Each structure stands twice: as C-alpha cells, then as structure tokens.
Amino acid sequence: MRSFYPFRPYIHAILPTIVLLIAPVFAVAQSTGSGPDAPSANANSALDRIDRARALAAVHQLQAAATELENVRVSTRDVALRNVATLMLLGIYLEDGNYGRSQSLLEEAFQTRAAQKDESIRTYFAAAGQTVNGIRSHIARYRSFGLNPSDGNLPPEANTDLDRVRGLLERVAAQANEISKEQGRSYDAVALLEDVLGLRLSLARSEDDRAKWQTELLMARERMASSQTQVASLGRSPALDAMTSRIPNPFAGPKTDSAGAQPTDSSATAAPNSSQPAINSSQPPTNGAQPAMNAAQPASTQTTTPAAEPQLISTGSLNGRETKRVTPNYPSSARTHNVTGTVRVFAIVDENGKIWITNSEGPMLLRQAAEDAAKAWTFAPPNVGGKPVRLAGYLDFEFKL
C-alpha cells in the first residue's frame, strides 16, 4: 500500500513466495552443467526467459512478459522452473485484469495438489497467497483513487471488474474449504479461508451480502480456534506465513553478552519472527528476565527451569476478537492533503490480552493515528485448550473523507 505504481505492489507480493521456489531453480542450472548439453541448454534458456519476463514486467509490458513465462511453462519439464513461472504469471495476470487465466492457473495448482500431495500442496498455498495478495493490492488501488469498492453506485466498468474479483475470491474460499477436510491440512487451509473471507467481506454488495460473508468468516474463525491445538505438530506453510513473517516478536529480547544485560529465555529466542527489528512500543517483560547472578551459577547447581513462553500463533486478522475498539482520529495534515486509504497495523496480543504494536503499512500520514487507536483496543486473554497463548495478527483501519 505504500505505492500504487503499476506492478510494484505485486513485486512485494511475489518475492516471499518466489524466494521459496527460486533456490531449486539455480540448483538445476548448476547441476545441469555437468550433464548432457540438451538439458543444460533447456534450463539455461528457461532461466533467460524468466529474467527477460521480469524485466518486461518491470517496464509494464505485461503481455510480452506473460508470453515469455507461458513459453517457460510449455518448454520445461523442471517442476521448480514451472512453479516460478506460474507464480509470476499469477501476479502479471491479476495486474492485467485477466482473471480468467489467473483462475485457470490456480485451478491447475489445486488439481495437481490433489494428485501429488506434499510439494504440490506448498505450491498451491503459494499460488493462493499470491492471488490474495494481488487482489488486496487491486482493491487498494481503487481506494487510492477515492473509490469505495463496496459502493453499489460505481460505474459499470468498475462493478464488472469487482464482480470478477468476488468470483475469484469465492473460488479460492471453496478450494480452501475442501483442503481443510484433508487430514493434516486443516489449520493451513482454514487460515487461508479466514483471510479470503475477510477480503470478500470487504467487498460486500449489500447488507444481505455482508451478513452472509460475516457469518462465513465467524464460522471459519471458530474452526481455526478448534484446530489451533494441532499447530505445534503440523507447522505452518511458508507461503501462508509470508504476511506474518513481517511481524516482529516483542517477546524475544536480545541475548545477553555482558553482565547487567537482560537475559532472554531460550524459548523466546526461538520464537517465530525473532529476527525482525524491535517493536516501536515499550518492551514487555519476558519469562526469562532473571537476575544477572543466576547466569553465573554453574549448570549443576541450577535446580529450577524457567516457565515456558506461551505459544505464539499466527492468526491473521484480529478484527472481531476485541472487547473494546477505538476509532482513530483523522490527522489534520492528512485531511488537508486529502490523504485516504487503509492502514494495516501489525500487532501481538499477549497472554494477558494486552496488545503490542510491532509495525504498520499504508499511507505515511495516517499510520501514527492508526497505531495510536490500535494501542487502545482491548482483548480477552487468548487461550487454546485451556492454555494461554499469544496471537500475532493485524488490524485494518480505513480512512476516508
């Protein structure tokens, strides 16, 4: 949301998923050097096409970029190369408004998942995440031009476009719902479903339509709450964590390297996203905050073990979980310059129900107001299976004049 230049939003959306798949591509390129000339030439040709497509997309020659990537999909048998091309194509077709081809590629990934499992399921989640990110950027573009996507009085061209977006979202929701019935995939699929339903709710055509998707969203959240007890054993899909990987963990402090520095519990340093920068609010106390003299005691003399940190669960949107919400004040400077848009505030709700702001994205003049409002929200202490947990997610604040 920081920029609405053509294709730039998709570069940010593509990178998290492309990086997951690009390493095998270069491994192929290196390994084929010692093999037969034909396979090596084929891999190098495909890589050259991908590089050219990236350059064409950067200068907004989307049709030419799509042609190069479609040729890669047809000419190569390498799965990693095909996956990279597919993910890039999804971003390009969504940018170009070609929802039919976007849905076709998504359906292909969905059907392949049903046949091959494992690697292909990760590819599907990456493709679905790419689709959701692309649609979110598309909706943000409407707002950047002062248009409300849920306004029923938009020009026919806009309504037609948004109806196609709604149809694509509903198809992703149906796919996620089907995958959620598969053993071992429930949490990943329901997390995707919650994100998609929240986006579809923001595009409600009418009050009846809004009520329908609000009910669907609440049901998905109930299902996710019931499946969160399996998180520790299932793990999260890297594609689904593309968004929440930007949320720093305020409960993981730096390791002590000198006397007097605050030690950190080992379970906190191992928590997700601990490599992110520190949060912009005050640091909460951690379970590992023990007197410095304890660190100097021999291991054999220690008889107690610090209590384990509550589990950190990525939960997507936090909207609807609050016990009190506060509406942000519209900054006078933003009002003067007619700045509108949506600010997404990333946060963590601790085991006591207190919210910790980590970072935000959106129009710069609106961010501080959104963060200040988010700090005043309150939540019930979260727990799963009777055990306290921490929830990592985000709050969306829409500013319009």
The residue assigned the tokens 């994100």 is 195
Tell me the one-letter amino acid at 225. Answer: A
What SS3 state is found at 156? helix
Q: Which DSSP helix (H) or strand (E) runs through 396?
A: strand 387-399
Any idea what the Cα angle at residue 387 is, between residues 313 and 278, rounded to 5°?
40
CA atoms of 110 and 128, how far apart (whole Å): 9
- Confidence class for position 227, pLDDT limits 50, 70, 90: low
Name the residue with higher pLDDT: 22 or 182. Answer: 182
Nearest to 130 by CA among 292, 272, 13, 247: 13
Name the residue with higher pLDDT: 192 or 278. Answer: 192
Name the residue with higher pLDDT: 33 or 100. Answer: 100
Backbone angles phi, psi at 305, to 5 degrees: -115, 130
Q: Is the dihedral of CA 107, 196, 215, 385 positive or negative?
A: positive
Please state the separation of Cα 317 from the chain's center in Å: 10
What pLDDT is stored for residue 233 in this prediction?
A: 32
Torsion of CA 294, 295, 301, 307, to 10 degrees: 70
CA atoms of 351 and 231, how far apart (whole Å): 17
Burial of 225 (0-12, 13-18, 19+ CB in 10 A): middle
Mean pLDDT of 359-382: 90
Mean pLDDT of 381-396: 88
Is 80 exceeded by the pLDDT of residue 141? Answer: yes
Least confident segment among 122-126, 260-264, 354-358 = 260-264
Nearest to 255 by CA among 304, 297, 288: 288
Nearest to 223 by CA among 166, 177, 172: 177
Strands (E), 200-334: 311-317, 322-324
What pLDDT is stored for residue 262 in this prediction?
A: 41
Per the CB < 8 A criterion, the answer to whether 16 and 128 are in contact is no
Any idea what the Cα angle at residue 314 is, between residues 313 and 317, rounded to 5°?
130
Give residue-wise pLDDT tens across range 171-219.
Answer: 999 999 998 887 767 777 888 888 899 899 989 888 888 889 988 888 8
Burial of 119 (0-12, 13-18, 19+ CB in 10 A): middle
Per the CB < 8 A criterion, the answer to whether 385 and 229 are in contact is yes
* CA dist 153 → 147, 262, 351 (Å): 10, 58, 44
Alpha helices in 228-303 (DSSP H): 231-234, 266-269, 292-296
Per the CB < 8 A criterion, the answer to whether 53 and 88 are in contact is yes
Count, residues in the chain: 401
CA atoms of 357 and 249, how far apart (whole Å): 10
Question: How does the average pLDDT of the chain come out, rounded?
Answer: 73
Q: Label residue 338 left, alpha or beta by phi (over 0 means left) and psi (-120 to 50 means alpha).
A: left
The residue assigned the tokens 């609050």 is 322
Q: Rg of the chain over CA atoms, in angstroms? A: 23
The structure's pTM equals: 0.51
Per the CB < 8 A criterion, the answer to whether 379 and 323 are in contact is yes
Concatenate the DSSP letters of all residues of 325-387 into one string.
Answer: --PPPPPHHHHHTT--EEEEEEEEE-TTS-EEEEEEES-HHHHHHHHHHHHT-EEPPPEETTE
For residue 230, what is the DSSP state?
G
